[in-house]
């Protein structure tokens, strides 16, 4: 690959000669080892994208390279379906947590499965809660999940040792959880036991626990006193410290690091569907928030301030009822689970920053 870069630099001001050089050089459709770049869980980078970029590199006097054709960048694949992974023993993909780029945890409402890029069942947990975003993975590769008795457990990275981090107390039940990569905190969405008829639905709150599993923050109300949440299903933390909650009634509710309300994403202007019900959520490497919508088979991608960036229609790829979402930050890939299949769909999330990086 470097020989092409070097040759281009020599012929930067002679594009015709450079094209003739490429034409005379044997270029396989996909680079063979050792030049092939394998993105560990799913895909290969094709040489076509590399040469499209090389064709638009401007060589400056200082030797710096910059991409100058914005239109070409917009034409690079975005939200492209790359692969399907069929997971053994999975009924549906409710929520996804990455343990490593090649190993993920996914639950289906009845059990929790550790699988790899081939869809093999590596480990099985049967005491997991039947709710949605009930598991996460910490920086040590340990699984943290909510069990059927509303306790929060931790499983060692080698799947041999289980311990209880937080026991259910005083009627509060954990509904969804996430691990903070920046602080090592555990962020838990709690809801009071709704089987008690005297309890109203607004008794929902976020509690942040530090590494010693001590509660250090509670997020529950607007500054006006209005409840922030109603029917939360998923929770995650953005890289800037924002807490992002997928609420099936109120939309995607975002608060800042201090717990102050920032915005709610309901639906884009002119949305044709009468109701927008968010499902799975995750954040990418550039602070953007990805949201699956089961009603119209789409993935919404919004900026950290709530502005819509793009909508990917999954039905055109044969992916119906999108549900759980996971993001592979090492390879800029989005993993999507379905509400009625054992298939995980792999999408490539491409941005300008991906290539400039």
Q: Do residues 119 and 149 both lie within one domain? A: yes
Q: Residue 317: what pLDDT?
A: 84
Into how many domains does the chain fold? 2
Q: Residue 81: what pLDDT?
A: 82
**The model scores a pTM over 0.85:** no
Q: Which residue has the higher pLDDT, 202 or 240?
A: 240
Q: Do residues 65 and 103 both lie within one domain? A: no
Q: Do residues 42 and 152 both lie within one domain? A: no
Q: Do residues 36 and 161 both lie within one domain? A: no
Q: Residue 39: what pLDDT?
A: 35
Q: Which two tokens stand for residue 235?
A: 């929770």
170 — pLDDT class (breaks 50, 70, 90): confident
Distance CA 101, CA 97 (A): 10
Q: Do residues 146 and 221 both lie within one domain? A: yes
Q: Which two tokens stand for residue 74?
A: 């917009």
157 — pLDDT class (breaks 50, 70, 90): very high
CATH assignment of the domain containing 234:
2.120.10.30
330 — pLDDT class (breaks 50, 70, 90): confident
Q: Do residues 155 and 63 both lie within one domain? A: no
Domain boundary (41, 75, 109) is at: 75
Percentage of the chain exceeding pLDDT 90: 56
5 — pLDDT class (breaks 50, 70, 90): very low
Express each pLDDT in 24-75 by its tens digit.
544 444 433 333 323 344 443 333 333 333 344 343 333 333 333 333 223 3
Distance CA 59, CA 125 (A): 55
Q: Do residues 143 and 30 both lie within one domain? A: no
Q: Residue 267: what pLDDT?
A: 74
Q: List b or e across 188-199, with b for residues whose CB sees 16 or more CB atoms inside 10 angstroms.
A: bbbbbeeeeeee
Lowest mean pLDDT among 9-23, 200-214, 245-259: 9-23
Q: Residue 111: what pLDDT?
A: 96
325 — pLDDT class (breaks 50, 70, 90): very high
189 — pLDDT class (breaks 50, 70, 90): very high
Q: Is 80 exceeded by the pLDDT of residue 246?
A: yes
- Write the CB contacts of 170 (distance below 8 Å, at least 6 apart in sequence): none
Distance CA 96, CA 90 (A): 12
Q: Do residues 182 and 237 both lie within one domain? A: yes
Distance CA 357, CA 351 (A): 10
Q: Residue 282: what pLDDT?
A: 96
Q: Do residues 6 and 70 both lie within one domain? A: yes
Average pLDDT over residues 307-327: 90
Q: Do residues 204 and 313 both lie within one domain? A: yes
Q: Do residues 276 and 214 both lie within one domain? A: yes
Cis peptide preceding 34, ω within 30 of 0: yes
SS3 labels along the chain: CHHHHHHHHHCCCCHHHHHHHHHHCCCCCCCCCCCCCECCCCCECCHHHHHHHHCCEEECCCCCEEECCHHHHHHCCCCEEEEEEECCCCCCCCEEEEEECCEEEEECCCCEEEEECCCCEEEEECCECCCCCCEEECCCCCEEEEECCCCEEEECCCCCCEEEEECCECCEEEEEEEECCCCCCEEEEEEECCCCCCCCCCCEEEEEECCCCCEEEEECECCCCCECCCCEEEEEECCCCCEEEEECCCEEEEECCCCCEEEEECCCCCCCCCCCCEEEEEECCCCCEEEEECCCCEEEEECCCCCEEEEEECHHHCCCCEEEEEEECCCCEEEEEECCCCEEEEEECCCHHHHHC
Q: Which residue has the higher pLDDT, 263 or 22?
A: 263
Distance CA 165, CA 142 (A): 12
Distance CA 328, CA 349 (A): 10
Domain boundary (18, 43, 75) is at: 75
Domain of residue 14 covers 2-75
319 — pLDDT class (breaks 50, 70, 90): confident
CB-CB neighbours of 158 under 10 Å: 9
Domain boundary (13, 47, 75) is at: 75
Q: Which residue has the higher pLDDT, 58 or 261?
A: 261
Q: Residue 79: what pLDDT?
A: 61
Q: Residue 99: what pLDDT?
A: 94
Average pLDDT over residues 326-354: 82
Q: Residue 112: what pLDDT?
A: 97
Q: Do residues 197 and 267 both lie within one domain? A: yes
């Amino acid at each position: 690959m470097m020989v092409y870069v070097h040759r281009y630099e020599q012929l930067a001001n002679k594009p015709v000669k450079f094209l003739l050089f490429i034409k005379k050089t044997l270029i396989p459709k996909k680079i063979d080892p050792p030049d092939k770049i394998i993105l560990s869980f799913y895909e290969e980078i094709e040489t076509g994208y590399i040469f499209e970029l090389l064709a638009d590199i401007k060589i400056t006097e200082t030797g710096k390279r910059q991409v100058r054709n914005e239109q070409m960048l917009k034409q690079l694949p975005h939200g492209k379906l790359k692969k399907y992974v069929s997971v053994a023993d999975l009924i549906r993909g409710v929520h996804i947590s990455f343990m490593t780029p090649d190993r993920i945890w996914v639950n289906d409402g009845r059990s929790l499965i550790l699988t790899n890029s081939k869809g093999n069942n590596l480990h099985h947990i049967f005491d997991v809660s039947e709710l949605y975003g009930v598991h996460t993975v910490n920086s040590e590769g340990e699984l943290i999940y909510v069990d059927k008795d509303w306790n929060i457990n931790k499983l060692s990275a080698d799947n041999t040792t289980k311990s209880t981090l937080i026991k259910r107390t005083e009627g509060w039940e954990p509904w969804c959880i996430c691990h903070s990569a920046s602080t090592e905190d555990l962020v838990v969405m709690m809801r009071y036991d709704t089987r008690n008829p005297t309890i109203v639905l607004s008794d929902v709150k976020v509690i942040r626990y530090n590494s010693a599993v001590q509660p250090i923050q509670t997020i529950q109300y607007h500054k006006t006193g209005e409840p922030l949440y109603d029917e939360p299903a998923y929770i995650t933390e953005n890289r800037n410290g924002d807490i992002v909650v997928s609420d099936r009634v109120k939309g995607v509710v975002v608060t800042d690091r201090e717990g102050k309300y920032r915005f709610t994403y309901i639906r884009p202007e002119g949305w044709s569907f009468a109701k927008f019900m968010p499902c799975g959520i995750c954040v990418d490497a550039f602070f953007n928030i990805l949201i699956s919508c089961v009603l119209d088979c789409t993935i919404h991608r919004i900026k950290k301030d709530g502005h819509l960036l793009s909508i990917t229609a999954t039905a055109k790829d044969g992916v119906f009822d999108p549900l759980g979402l996971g993001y592979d930050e090492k390879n800029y890939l989005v993993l999507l689970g379905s509400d009625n299949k054992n298939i995980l769909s792999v999408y490539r999330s491409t941005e300008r920053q991906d290539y400039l990086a």
